[in-house]
Amino acid sequence: MYTLYATIGSGNCYKVQLLMRQLNIPFRVVMIDVLKGETQSPEYLAINPNGKVPYLVLPNGEGLGESNAMLLHLAEGSHLMPQTAQERMRVNEWLFWEQSSHEPYISPARFWISIMPEGRAERETEIATWHERGAKSLKMLDDHLSKNDFLVGNRYTVADIGLFGYTHVAGEGEFDMAKYPAVCAWIARVEARDGFLPMMDFAEAA
Ligand SMILES: N[C@@H](CCC(=O)N[C@@H](CS)C(=O)NCC(=O)O)C(=O)O
């Protein structure tokens, strides 16, 4: 059985939960409260020395960090992983891009605006930068999705799950989603997939 260390409301944790659900992989969740600093407790650091969630413990006891590494590992050999090297190359491209050019702007803007608004006032300069850079990424995503139903090979793949995690809650970070109609249509397509569950439903089930 897989064990996923996760926190409520995290797109990085959610995408791993969603993929496991859609692949019918049994897993249990151990909730870690990031807001209480539990990721930095000695007990948690003994499990994951990187002090972050998500963290996946495999059935053989090995631990794996980095949400997109988890997605790639869990999707291997499944219908969510393309068969051709060319398409797998594109899956990797989107997932690396998500962590370098998308999540680093959308996630903190959402965090300080919707999850921890009491810290917002002292971060307005950073929020402006995250908005500028995140908007560029959403525009790039929108351009791609205006010509494609899904990110790779015009089929729902692990790349869509990886990008969905934070894109679908970007509005909570005050990104104006009306500017990205193709992204909004893709969000609806992802939400219509078999086995889809909204982020907060995983929190309630934990
Ligand atoms: N690149 C990592 C990012 C993980 C990450 O930043 N996790 C946040 C929650 S979304 C966290 O654990 N923050 C608590 C901390 O840094 O102590 C991944 O994709 O898994």
pLDDT digits (tens, 9 = 90+) for 88-104: 999 999 999 999 999 99
Mean pLDDT of 138-148: 98
CA 167 to ligand 1 centroid distance, Å = 16
CA 13 to ligand 1 centroid distance, Å = 9
pLDDT at residue 204 tops 90: no
pLDDT at residue 203 tops 90: no
C-alpha 171: how far from chain center = 15
Task: Tokens for 125, please give them.
Answer: 């300069």
Cα–Cα distance between 7 and 199 in angstroms, integer?
11
Q: Note the CATH number of domain 85-191.
A: 1.20.1050.10
Q: What is the pLDDT of residue 168?
A: 98
Give phi and psi for 48, each to the nearest 5: -130, 100
Q: What is the pLDDT of residue 202?
A: 85
Evaluate whether 2-79+196-205 and 85-191 have a shared fold. no
Question: What percent of the chain stands above pLDDT 90?
Answer: 98
CA 64 to ligand 1 centroid distance, Å = 13
Q: Which residues contact 117 (CB under 8 A, 6 or more apart)?
A: none
Q: Note the CATH number of domain 2-79+196-205.
A: 3.40.30.10
Q: How far is CA 103 from CA 44, 67, 134, in A?
A: 24, 11, 8
Pocket test for ligand 1, best of 31, 53, 64, 74 (most atoms within 8 A of CB): 53
Cα–Cα distance between 154 and 131 in angstroms, integer?
29
CA 154 to ligand 1 centroid distance, Å = 30
- Residue 206 — pLDDT band, cuts 50, 70, 90? low
Q: What is the pLDDT of residue 166?
A: 98
Q: What is the pLDDT of residue 175?
A: 98
- Residue 5 — pLDDT band, cuts 50, 70, 90? very high
Domain boundaries, the chain: 2-79+196-205, 85-191
Please give the full DSSP string across the chain, using - where no structure is assigned: -EEEEE-TT-HHHHHHHHHHHHTT--EEEEE--GGGTGGGSHHHHHH-TT--S-EEE-TTS-EEE-HHHHHHHHHTTSTTS-SSHHHHHHHHHHHHHIIIIIHHHHHHHHIIIII-GGGSGGGHHHHHHHHHHHHHHHHHHHHHHTT-SSSBTTB--HHHHHHHHHHTTGGGGT--GGG-HHHHHHHHHHHTSTT---HHHHHHH-
Mean pLDDT of 9-22: 98
Residues with CB under 6 A from ligand 1: 7, 10, 12, 34, 39-40, 51-54, 66-68, 99
Q: Is the dihedral of CA 35, 39, 41, 43 positive or negative?
A: positive
Mean pLDDT of the chain: 97
CA 90 to ligand 1 centroid distance, Å = 24
Nearest CA to ligand 1 atom 12: 52
Q: Which atom of ligand 1 is least distant from the CA of 39?
A: 17
Q: pLDDT digit string (tens) for 104-134?
A: 999 999 999 999 999 999 999 999 999 999 9
pLDDT at residue 57 tops 90: yes
- Residue 205 — pLDDT band, cuts 50, 70, 90? low
Q: Which atom of ligand 1 is least distant from the CA of 68?
A: 19
CA 53 to ligand 1 centroid distance, Å = 5
